[in-house]
């Protein structure tokens, strides 16, 4: 399953989060959440090719991240 963002899915200008110097810390926070989640998290491109797979793939499916 691929998730493509359409203009209707985007936030309106009143809902947008302002760009602030602390954005990198927010990115680090979410990266840590995804990398340490017990669920399997993947990011696939529109063709279904896996572009990212969380480290939990080893525990859940038995695959190494290098496979």
- The HSE-up count of residue 39 (CA atoms within 13 Å, CB side) is 4
Structure confidence by residue, pLDDT tens digits, 11-64: 454 555 555 566 678 888 888 888 888 899 889 999 999 998 888 988 899 888
Helix (H) or strand (E) holding 33: helix 23-36
Strands (E), 1-67: 42-44, 50-53
pTM: 0.52
Q: To the nearest 10°, report the CA torsion of 43, 6, 25, 57.
A: -10
* Model pLDDT, residue 44: 94
State the Cα–Cα distance between residues 47 and 35, nearest whole angstrom: 24
């Amino acid at each position: 399953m691929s998730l493509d963002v359409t203009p209707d899915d985007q936030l309106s200008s009143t809902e947008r989060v302002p760009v602030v110097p602390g954005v990198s810390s927010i990115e680090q926070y979410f990266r840590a959440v995804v990398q340490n989640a017990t669920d399997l998290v993947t990011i696939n491109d529109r063709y279904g090719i896996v572009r990212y797979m969380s480290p939990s793939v080893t525990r859940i499916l038995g695959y190494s991240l290098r496979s």
